[in-house]
């Protein structure tokens, strides 16, 4: 008893496998379900009774014109918005009432349309902060830099180095993110999500504002993670070209509703989609 208490105080136990749990195989089974979601801002209905079913291991894209409610839907899934109606289910568990940081701990990470990095911090620190839910030190251990704190730091650095390798951020490690280009900032944003080793990554317009080259780099990285680790991606995107290239499945939204759903090829040729994009 006493030994356990001491261990908790001074030398938190850290099991690596906890963080690197093995992913299940890709399947038709839904991993994430957003059901009958409605979001309102005052009188404006941003999302109107939308149901989205995300399957295990897929790369799902949500597209649609501006104001279609895509980002709002993402915000509901990540817990930032409270929907007026509907629920969010992750791996069979209703997470509708869970605060955002808890959802991250469960395995839902996200990136942002406009850089939401911590601008005063270095790239390294920005990514490490993503590991906050998995910290295994308490305040006292941190204050005296006890073994648990040191070991955790090393573990965290290894994890970070892994994503730095993956996203080729080596030379920017010690740069303050405020001084980086938008493209690099997006990469850091993704790195921060990936270091959490999530089961589902929600991406909000990852390609917006990037050069063609940057888009290709980013797409390659996403595909690599998707294929090697079996991570599920839900991507809100504007750029149809990228989406049709990499998505397994596409959902099209307009004016807060889902207007089409299916394989990239069939969706792109759906007349309602063409109408919404071109005619709308």
Partner 1 sequence: MPAGVFKETYGEEIAIFRYPIHYAGAALGLLFALMLPILVGPYYMLLAVSFLIFLVGTVGLNITVGLAGLISLAHAALMGMGAYVTAFLAEKGVNILVAIPVAGLSAAALAFILALPSFRLKGYYLAMASLAAQFIIEYIFALIDPDQYVPIPDEAKYLGGIYLGRGLPLYYTTLAITIVSILTAVNLGRSILGRAMKAVRDNDVAAEVVGINVYYVKAIAFTIGGFYAGLAGGLYALYSSGIGWEGFTLEGSIEYLGMVLIGGPGRIVWGSFLGVLLVRTGWTLLESTLADLIVSYVAAALKYLILGGMIAGFIIFEPEGLIAVLRRFKEYLRLWPYSY
Partner 2 sequence: MVEANILVGALFQGFVLGLIYALIALGFNIIYRVSKSINFAHPALILLVGYVALVVSRQNGIAAGLIISLAVAALAGLVLEKSLAKPLIGKPPVALIGATLGAFYVIRGVTFIVGRFEAAALPLQSTYYSLGLLKVSTNDLVSMAVTGAGLLGLILLHNKTRIGSAIRAVAEDAEGAAGYGLPVSRLMTLSWILAGLTGALGGLALSLKAQVNPYLDFYAIKAFAASILAGLDSIGGVVLGGLALGLVEQLASIVLEPYLPGIGGHIAFFFLLLILLVKPYGLFGTERIERI
Which residues form the interface with partner 2 (CB under 8 A)?
A: 41, 75, 80, 112-114, 116
Taking the C-alpha atoms of residue 275 and residue 280, their distance in angstroms, rounded to an integer, is 6
**Binding partner selected for residue 113 from partner 2, partner 1, none, CB under the kind-specific 5 to 8 Å limit:** partner 2
Cβ atoms of 94 and 168 closer than 8 Å: no
Q: Least separation, in Å, of the C-beta of 172 and partner 1?
A: 14
Residues that bind partner 1 (CB under 8 A): 78-80, 99-101, 104-105, 109-110, 112, 116-121, 125-126, 128-133, 135, 137, 139, 142-145, 149-150, 152-154, 156-158, 174, 192-193, 196
Taking the C-alpha atoms of residue 210 and residue 113, their distance in angstroms, rounded to an integer, is 11
Q: Least separation, in Å, of the C-beta of 112 and partner 2?
A: 6
**Binding partner selected for residue 41 from partner 2, partner 1, none, CB under the kind-specific 5 to 8 Å limit:** partner 2
Nearer to partner 2, 166 or 190 (CB): 190
Nearer to partner 1, 57 or 130 (CB): 130
**Binding partner selected for residue 127 from partner 1, partner 2, none, CB under the kind-specific 5 to 8 Å limit:** none
**Binding partner selected for residue 130 from partner 1, partner 2, none, CB under the kind-specific 5 to 8 Å limit:** partner 1
Nearer to partner 1, 10 or 277 (CB): 10
**Binding partner selected for residue 20 from partner 2, partner 1, none, CB under the kind-specific 5 to 8 Å limit:** none
Cβ atoms of 136 and 14 closer than 8 Å: yes
Taking the C-alpha atoms of residue 13 and residue 139, their distance in angstroms, rounded to an integer, is 15
Cβ atoms of 26 and 57 closer than 8 Å: yes
Nearer to partner 2, 62 or 267 (CB): 62
Taking the C-alpha atoms of residue 238 and residue 45, their distance in angstroms, rounded to an integer, is 21
Nearer to partner 1, 153 or 216 (CB): 153
Query: What is the edge-to-edge ordering of all strands in the sheet holding 93-94?
Result: 44-55, 30-41, 85-90, 93-94
Q: Least separation, in Å, of the C-beta of 132 and partner 1?
A: 5
Q: Strands 200-204 and 232-237: what pairing?
A: parallel
Provide φ and ψ at 270, rounded to 5°: -70, 125
SS3 of residue 215 by DSSP? helix
Total Cβ atoms within 10 A of residue 41: 9
């Amino acid at each position: 008893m006493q030994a356990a208490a001491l261990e908790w105080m001074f030398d938190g136990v850290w099991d690596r496998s906890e963080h690197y749990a093995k992913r299940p195989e890709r399947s038709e089974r839904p991993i994430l379900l957003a059901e009958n979601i409605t979001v309102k801002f005052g009188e404006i209905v941003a999302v109107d009774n939308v149901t989205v079913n995300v399957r295990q291991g897929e790369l799902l894209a949500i597209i649609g014109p501006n104001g279609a409610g895509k980002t709002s839907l993402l915000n509901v899934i990540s817990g930032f918005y409270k929907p007026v109606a509907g629920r969010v289910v992750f791996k069979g568990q209703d997470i509708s009432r869970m605060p955002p940081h808890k959802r991250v701990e469960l395995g839902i990470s996200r990136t942002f349309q406009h850089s939401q990095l911590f601008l005063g911090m270095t790239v390294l620190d920005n990514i490490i902060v993503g590991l906050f839910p998995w910290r295994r030190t308490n305040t006292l251990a941190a204050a005296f830099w006890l073994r648990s704190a040191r070991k955790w730091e090393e573990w965290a650095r290894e994890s970070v180095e892994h994503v730095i390798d993956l996203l080729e951020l080596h030379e920017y490690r010690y740069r303050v993110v405020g001084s980086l280009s938008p493209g690099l900032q997006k990469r850091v944003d993704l790195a921060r999500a990936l270091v959490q080793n999530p089961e589902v990554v929600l991406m909000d317009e990852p390609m917006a504002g990037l050069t063609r080259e940057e888009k290709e780099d980013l797409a390659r990285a996403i595909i690599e993670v998707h294929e090697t680790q079996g991570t599920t991606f839900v991507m809100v995107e504007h750029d149809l070209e990228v989406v049709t290239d990499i998505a397994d499945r596409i959902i099209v939204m307009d004016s807060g509703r889902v207007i089409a759903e299916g394989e990239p090829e069939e969706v792109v040729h759906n007349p309602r989609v063409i109408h919404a994009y071109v005619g709308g």
